[in-house]
Structure 1
Amino acid sequence: MRPNGRIQTSIELLNEVQESPLPMDRVVNTYLRARRFIGSKDRRDINARVYGVIRSRCRLDWWTTQTGLTAGNRSAVLAYTILVEGMKASELDEICNGEQYSPEKLSDFENEALATLQGKTLDHPDMSQAVMGELPDWISGLFEQQFGKEQAVFEMAALQQEATLDLRVNLLKGDREQAQEFLAADDVISEKTAHSDWGLRVQGRTALGNCKAFREGLVEVQDEGSQLIAILCDAKPGMSIIDLCAGAGGKTLALAASLGNDGDLVAMDVDARRLQRAEPRMERAGVENVRYATLNNDNLNKMAKKGFDRVLVDAPCSGSGTWRRQPDARLRLTKEKYGNYQGLQADVLEKSAKCVKVGGRLIYATCSLFNGENIDQINTFLTKHANYTLRDASKLWVEVSDVPCPFDGEVMKLTPAQHGLDGFFCAVLERTA
């Protein structure tokens, strides 16, 4: 493709991302797979530009407002090519010629406005902290409340970085050393993660679908922080466990490996289609003891009659801890959605509590950075349930892992800025009566 085609494709792809309710990575991958004529080099260029625009959208919109350009994906892409990629307005004028596969011809005003951006950088001292942090004002306020003004700057900046590619080794099929050897045979270099005994961090980017270790279920993609939640569940062979919001089964797979196919493992979700997507992953991983159930009141009542040793609630949340991976999500979150998540979290905690047997544990986790979805939910729950007590997660860690504990205090709180991982929260509650 010529430069004009790559830029026009970037604009079109951003329109697709904006209009679709699906996560950005799925939209981008589907769009590019459907256009086989786009070469690998062109795909990398388009992918980098699209993600670059999304990661810097608030600052780009600030610049387009300053110059008087019409807000939208076209202006954002054109501004990005100058501010970040170093293109000149005269070059853009040649590229945007209105011909087939090219962006619409620049107007005289666009030409003049884009020319004023030459020599400037993406950042400007007049930008607010929210704009610099690539967040809406109200979310920037949440960060200040959570971390204090100074630390909030570091946390917001960390969320603008690219996330690492972490793998969890499936203990049903091998260990980390074997996994590293298999990956290396397919030219994938990895190193052991610092906190998870099951984790490997891949150097650079790779197509895992081409790797034997992935195809045969020896490794699964899972952020190291997410692996730590599974470790804190302290699943042991013979236990009965519910993964209450299982989704496509990432943590279910980790729990199954800890059980060693010995025990009762139930994967539940409100969306039966997600559970269907989990089944091939279980088969590939050699998991034999998982059963599936739709998350509804009838099934919860059945589970409550039996009682389980562990109930993992990976609660629906804002996903703020994973915005490195889904940078568009921070622009989609509204105050209303944030409030709705908190209502769902309180509801699922209430319902899950009935399913834990006496002496068993309820593990509440989110991939959120905000207290309103995390410790506040736990404190509210404990005021209503005298038969539950909060176990000290840092002390539990010493019992379940030989690796030094990566967090302090009674609950696990991870952030990209402080730990280099996705942001996660985890609290372990034990039913005493």
Structure 2
Amino acid sequence: MIFLWGGLRLWRSPPQPFPDMKLHRNLCEAIIRALEAIFNQKQYADKVLEKLLKSNSKWGARDRAFIAESTYEIVRWWRKLLFLANETYYENGSNYENRVFWRVLGVHLLLQHKSLPPWQEWQNLFLKEIEQKASNIRERAIQHSIPDWLDKLGEQELGKGAWERELEALNKPAEVVLRANTLKISVQELQKLLQEQKIETKLTPHSPDALILATRQNIFQNPLFKEGYFEVQDVGSQEIGRFLRVKAGERVVDACAGAGGKTLHLASMMHNKGRIIAMDTESWKLAELKKRAKRNGIDIIETRLIESSKTIKRLANSADKLLLDVPCSGLGVLRRNPDAKWKLSEKFLIEVREKQSQILQQYSQMLKKGGFLVYATCSILPSENENQVNNFLLQNKNFRLLESKHLFPSEYGFDGFFMALLEKTN
């Protein structure tokens, strides 16, 4: 989750307790406004905070951190905090009264061992009673703070034990992962340059080009970022790029490119040789990709807006490699997008599964005979993952499955992804 603090892009880090910070009314009111926008107006948390934190230039860095981190942690634990505040949780999307947001904020702050000012909104809130109630929670959906319907679906698809392990992992804040742009620098050289700036990082065996930040830094204002030496990209997302096995000189299509994090990774692995056609249905995302490619020193990417099925047909049998990072529920990335679980619905999941099937069926025609296709999601549900691949293979005998991989947050500590490598045989 990227958002703006005072016009500077920052990445979410593990929450800070702010033990010695005095609670100011205006900061708490800002959190209440953010929560109302997220839950009552159904806005996305990152966009809400981006706008909110740009609205007051007098807030210092610590104030902004307090607002942002408090908001995200309340969103993450919304249902549990409602329960502890003796307030009703609405699964149907009904609006909450202003006093509910204040009481939930009060409970959150008490659990962070903050002393509450004697404000009217926080009367009759006592830490001992809250902790006693928390120790007696038996319902899984409340304990892990998730909608009932989603809790039932997760157990149905993954099994009780596996689902509970993923719920535990998905409620842990995401780490910040950098990917060295190997067109300009090695991961070891990048680590050394960051260390010279007193920015501590660590390598990970899960990705050869990745560095994990030890603590949050204003990384998007760092000169090394501005010079294109690295991008911010989760380990699992980096694995998807490598899974496609691209080579220099190939013609590659990234058909659901978005703002192009994986596109840029593909270009670096191709040593900026060959051609990548980056496609998306949103022109603003492709415009952002162009800016990022220029910063990264990449010139083999051509952006192409998907305006109709004709856009796809024009590229029939043209790609050596094809990446389909399809729209999905996003359940694998709840650690950095906790508000997604409150915005999801059973209807949306039905629609997105239909969209996934449609994309896989239609877009696969862009691949040459003998070419490789990667189908990928940031979901952990089989209905969006291996079930989609299996159904596609049943209908398309000219494709075969070479390899598939699940990246579960509970097993390796990063975001959850699925990827399947298919070959077009004739």
Shift of 1:117: 6.0
Amino acid at match of 1:47: A
- Please say if residues 309 and 360 of structure 1, whose CA atoms lie closer than 8 Å, have aligned partners that are also in contact: yes
1:28 equivalent in alignment to 2:49: yes
Shift of 1:212: 2.0
- Partner of residue 423, structure 1: 416
Q: Distance in 2 between matches of 1:138 and 1:119?
A: 26
Aligned match of 2:31 in 3, 10, 18?
10
Q: Distance in 1 between matches of 2:160 and 2:252?
A: 41
- Partner of residue 217, structure 2: 206
What SS does the aligned partner of 1:421 have?
Answer: coil
What SS does the aligned partner of 1:191 have?
Answer: strand
1:76 equivalent in alignment to 2:104: yes
- Partner of residue 298, structure 1: 310
- Partner of residue 64, structure 1: 85
Q: Distance in 2 between matches of 1:19 and 1:2?
A: 25
Q: Distance in 2 between matches of 1:121 and 1:284?
A: 53
Shift of 1:24: 1.7
Q: Distance in 2 between matches of 1:85 and 1:158?
A: 20
Q: Distance in 1 between matches of 2:88 and 2:54?
A: 36
Shift of 1:175: 0.8
- Partner of residue 330, structure 1: 341
CA spacing shift, 1:161–1:122, aligned 2, 3 Å: farther
Q: Distance in 1 between matches of 2:61 and 2:87?
A: 36
CA spacing shift, 1:145–1:180, aligned 2, 3 Å: same
Shift of 1:31: 1.3
1:278 equivalent in alignment to 2:293: no
Q: What whole-Å deviation, never above 9, does each CA across 1:378-401 have from its counterpart, x for those lacking one?
A: 011011000000002xxxxxxxxx
Q: Distance in 1 between matches of 2:40 and 2:314?
A: 40
- Partner of residue 93, structure 2: none
1:183 equivalent in alignment to 2:175: no
Shift of 1:412: 0.8
What SS does the aligned partner of 1:164 have?
Answer: coil
Shift of 1:264: 1.4
- Once superposed, what is the RMSD of the aligned Cα atoms? 2.1
Q: TM-score, normalised by structure 2?
A: 0.88
Bigger-Rg structure (1/2): 1
Amino acid at match of 2:105: V
Structure 2 unmatched ranges of 5 or more? 1-21, 90-95
CA spacing shift, 1:12–1:21, aligned 2, 3 Å: closer
- Partner of residue 400, structure 1: none
CA spacing shift, 1:126–1:180, aligned 2, 3 Å: closer
Amino acid at match of 2:113: G
Aligned length: 397
Q: Distance in 2 between matches of 1:256 and 1:364?
A: 18
Amino acid at match of 2:257: A
- Please say if residues 182 and 212 of structure 1, whose CA atoms lie closer than 8 Å, have aligned partners that are also in contact: no
- Partner of residue 13, structure 2: none
Matches within 5 A, 1:132-171: 132-171=143-182
Q: What whole-Å deviation, never above 9, does each CA across 1:203-225 have from its counterpart, x for those lacking one?
A: 11111123222111110000011
Q: Distance in 2 between matches of 1:335 and 1:266?
A: 34
Higher mean C-alpha displacement, 13-22 vs 335-344:
13-22
Matches within 5 A, 1:230-269: 230-269=241-280
Higher mean C-alpha displacement, 283-292 vs 257-266:
257-266
Amino acid at match of 1:75: R
Q: Distance in 2 between matches of 1:37 and 1:242?
A: 46
Q: What whole-Å deviation, never above 9, does each CA across 1:154-187 have from its counterpart, x for those lacking one?
A: 2101111110101111111111112112222322
- Partner of residue 367, structure 1: 378
Shift of 1:151: 2.8
Q: Distance in 1 between matches of 2:295 and 2:51?
A: 23
Shift of 1:312: 0.2
- Please say if residues 133 and 140 of structure 1, whose CA atoms lie closer than 8 Å, have aligned partners that are also in contact: no
- Please say if residues 84 and 130 of structure 2, whose CA atoms lie closer than 8 Å, have aligned partners that are also in contact: no
- Partner of residue 403, structure 1: none
Q: Distance in 1 between matches of 2:43 and 2:252?
A: 30
- Please say if residues 238 and 264 of structure 1, whose CA atoms lie closer than 8 Å, have aligned partners that are also in contact: yes
Shift of 1:67: 9.2
Higher mean C-alpha displacement, 327-336 vs 9-18:
9-18
What SS does the aligned partner of 1:51 have?
Answer: helix
Higher mean C-alpha displacement, 382-391 vs 200-209:
200-209
Shift of 1:228: 0.5
Amino acid at match of 1:40: A
Shift of 1:6: 2.1
CA spacing shift, 1:228–1:122, aligned 2, 3 Å: farther
Higher mean C-alpha displacement, 191-200 vs 417-426:
191-200
Aligned match of 2:364 in 329, 341, 353?
353
Q: TM-score, normalised by structure 1?
A: 0.87
Shift of 1:26: 3.2
Amino acid at match of 1:63: L
CA spacing shift, 1:358–1:152, aligned 2, 3 Å: same
Q: Distance in 2 between matches of 1:116 and 1:169?
A: 45
Shift of 1:111: 2.4
Amino acid at match of 2:58: F
Amino acid at match of 1:27: V
Q: What whole-Å deviation, never above 9, does each CA across 1:59-115 have from its counterpart, x for those lacking one?
A: 112223369996732221122223x12346xx44x2x2xxxxxxxx43xxx623x24
